[in-house]
Structure 1
Amino acid sequence: MTEQVVMVAQASPEELTERLRDAITRLNRRLRQERPLGDLTVTQLSALTSLRIGGALTPRELSEAERVQPPTMTKIVAKLEDRGLISRAPHPTDGRQVLLSLSPEGIAVLDRYQRVRDEWLAHRLAELVPDERDIVERAAQLLERLARE
């Protein structure tokens, strides 16, 4: 079942802001739901993703990246470490600190989760007609440009 894009009158910037925010939020939520069965929480997956993006981080840096309090991150890190998904190493310049990084198993888990989400999205995109896929491609380029800081 393919929905056709319907052209409507141009929305005001405020209306477009609301529609775009809501659409991105729903798509992101839907992508998060597409994951292999397992017992990793969304928060744990997010922490693993932050380590993939940021490289080795101190626990404080990871809690800041995830916008959670350090005690909360301590619990998350402990569970990920118990599962062998992250590893600790001494900080090269501060002996009081440790650096957290993804283990090979953590990388494999993230790759598996990403593959499942990508397959779901690719299937949904394949349901679109070529003109709709062209619109999505142009929109992706614009969203990438908007996301640059």
Structure 2
Amino acid sequence: MDQERELPLALRAAYMALHRCTEAKFASHGVTADQFVLLLALEETGTLTQRELADRISSDPSTVRAMLVLLEKNGFVRRASHPTDSRAKTVELTATGKRTLRKLWKVGQSIRDDMYGAITPKEAEILIRLLRLIPNSLSKEKTLV
């Protein structure tokens, strides 16, 4: 097996399978898989700036902004001026956003069950640790371009 070729293919296949399943489960709730990740990041960390949120979910600020506009229109998030930085906006979940996230978490449980059914808890721990190494190593590439 040529690991240099297989790793990108395997990562893409895993991501796409997760994304497709999540999109299908959440479609009737009016939330995309990417929006779910954004809501989850806000729930974990509380109030963030839009920039911090983009960094937290490994996305670009313009994509995050577009998602936030839709989520705010649906009443899931609240954006406000940053108290000390006039150029920044802070973002937090609303009560509706928190309720929606709890519902989506339950709806997505079967996906997580399937993923965790394919590997042991120890393998999951190792996989998470290894996957977290990749963005850090690739961020060095960005500075070289």
What is the TM-score when the length of structure 1 is the normalising length? 0.63
Contact 1:36/1:113 (8 A) holds in 2: no
Once residues 49 and 25 of structure 1 are traced to their aligned partners in structure 2, the CA distance between those partners, rounded to angstroms, is 17
Shift in CA distance, 94/117, structure 1 to aligned 2, threshold 3 Å: same
Alignment equivalent of 2:84, drawn from 85, 93, 105:
93
Per-residue deviation, 1:86 = 0.8
Structure 1 residue runs of 5 or longer lacking an equivalent are 1-10, 127-132
Once residues 40 and 30 of structure 1 are traced to their aligned partners in structure 2, the CA distance between those partners, rounded to angstroms, is 13
Hey, what does 1:114 align to over in structure 2? 105
Contact 2:50/2:61 (8 A) holds in 1: no
Hey, what does 2:129 align to over in structure 1? 145
Hey, what does 1:17 align to over in structure 2? 7
In terms of fraction of residues, the more helix-rich structure is 2
Question: SS of the counterpart of 2:28?
Answer: coil
Question: Mapping of 1:1-149 within 5 angstroms?
Answer: 11-14=1-4, 16-18=6-8, 20-32=10-22, 33-35=24-26, 37-64=28-55, 65=57, 67-70=59-62, 72-122=63-113, 124=114, 133=117, 136-137=119-120, 138-149=122-133
- Structure of larger gyration radius: 1
**Percent pairwise identity:** 25
Once residues 129 and 26 of structure 2 are traced to their aligned partners in structure 1, the CA distance between those partners, rounded to angstroms, is 28
Contact 2:75/2:96 (8 A) holds in 1: yes
Once residues 125 and 28 of structure 1 are traced to their aligned partners in structure 2, the CA distance between those partners, rounded to angstroms, is 9
